[in-house]
Structure 1
Amino acid sequence: MKFFDFKEDARISGSSRQMKFFDFKEDARISGSSRQMKFFDFKEDARISGSSRQMKFFDFHIQAGDHDFSLRLLAEASRLGYQGAVLVCSDETYSRLQPEIELLRDNPAISGLEVAAGVMINASNPQDMRRKVNRFRRKADVVYVSGGDLKVNRAACENPRVDVLSAPYSSRRDAGMNHVLAREAARNRVAVELVTTDIMGSWLKVRARVLEYFRDILKLHRKFDFPLLLSSRASSIYDLRTPRDLMNLAGCFGMSTREAGRALSSTPSSIIEYSRKRSLMIADGVRLVEDEEED
């Protein structure tokens, strides 16, 4: 025989409407396995993967060295998915390394990689910067100015013969850019370069500060629409990352996927294309064109 306490059953039945029951063993199993689980946004992945197939990615700043050193870096960049790269020399070593860069352009080991030569201008003042820019403008495919000093930053943004202002935040307590410099950079088509190794190679407060500078520059970019670049400034193969990795890293300081893709693809392409036409430009807005033969 079984005996029931109907009052107790009624009390439990009434309160069960508000009660929640848990399988603690099942919860523990799921909690333990979730450490190894990966979650994906398949729609976002499909959209990025589909668009990236049509993009031509550039690592727009790889440190140049001797022939074998540069070849190893370029081969690794090609393996990681880049279709173009710029080997950057300092203004002191450009004359020595430039012939080796020319040899690398036709190297069959990196036949699928477009190689350009860049020079980094290190200047102590605006006058020195202008003198060096005029000296190297016709020699290099891409002219960079090393940022940091606010006067040099401004002089670079105001100079249409400069292609890239690199790391304007360097050795500063701020981003090295303001609305005045941003407006001039947009007017003169001077790109601002964000160096990803400045994030990956720093720790704690320094890394947090660099991320803050990147966010500040990104806000100015969205307002004034000056060209923005993402590059590695790699000095070894271990500094290189895939384009997708850099796009994900850019999300840490607020860059959208589209903005990061443009900073790695269309902006570098437009800089190189514009640089190739400079020899035909005799004045601002005036370009020589070849006469077409009339039929």
Structure 2
Amino acid sequence: MGNTFGFRGGLRADVADLMQDAGEHLRSSGVFVKRAVASQYQSNRTGNDEIDESSAEELRDAASYVQHNAMLIQVPVVGTARTFWRLSDEATRMIRKLALILRNHHSVCKCLAAPLQASNVWVGSAGNAKLRGARFTDKGFSVERVREDYRNLSRVLQQLISISGGDTSKLPPDYIDFLSLLTEDNLTNKDEFLVVNHAALLPLKNRCGHSTEAFLMLYDRIVKYLGKRNRAKMNRILSCLPYQDDWLDTATANAKINQWIVNVQNTKEYRKTTLDLLRLNRNVRSHLHEYGHDDDVEEILYCEWPMLLVVMEKMLHREGELQDTDIENKFG
């Protein structure tokens, strides 16, 4: 995969076209429904009830769900006067589940028999996505069919963002990177691990600190593990990290983060190096209670450097190191 993070062709499709296409497929009820009739597709389940045609659980069609649970939300960047648009935790949970459904079927050499539509996506009361009216088949299975499944997922996700009232021109850069990954022409089966564990899908607003756990784990892999065992890999990763020229200016301009800069004790001052960018993020995340801002510090770090964790993860993936981490267990 190329080391690019921008939109690829088609990602900024005209919203009107997306809505028209969605209108042909989406159910219009917008209410909770139950089904008690078994489906012809029931035999295609993978064991996790991902294909749901007969369930006592209340499911809501995705269009109605995202209209009541915005996928794209605007949050204040605490410590500044700015705001930032990010994905809601409800959105990231739903998106990751859809990616997992595809990956799980691909792992047993099955692809969707027909292109995924927004009308196939249903959401349970806990926010977990399931598919209805979709069928997986092993006929004609190929890497190109796998890629097509992910391209269609990208299209559906953009439709749902538009339906939820989100402006696709305001998508955060890490989510743009995720959508770009879904449409990669040379996506491989190894890349599916990165798709379902993409850092853009980590939840932010919770008490469990999933993004902090993920960052500290990847930091240890890059700086401590590779720093001792393979410094060439570590240096390649560090050389590709973003924000190399301005991260310290950004940190000092944020009143909250600057507290860790000016009050640095028993350690050397921060310099404009990528290693110190990681060191600052590690120190802040390791002492979330230091200045009583533990409720918002994770979100502040994300809003100021939204691509940092993503590029750390992608570079570890490129170097063949990501699957040796525990990243898949950091999503809650």
Same fold by TM-score greater than 0.5: no
TM-score in terms of structure 2 length = 0.24
TM-score between both structures, scaled by the size of structure 1: 0.26
Query: Going by fraction, where is strand more abundant, 1 or 2?
Result: 1
Flag the structure with more relative contact order, 1 or 2, with Cα contacts below 8 A and sequence separation at least 6. Answer: 2
| Larger radius of gyration between Structure 1 and Structure 2 | 1
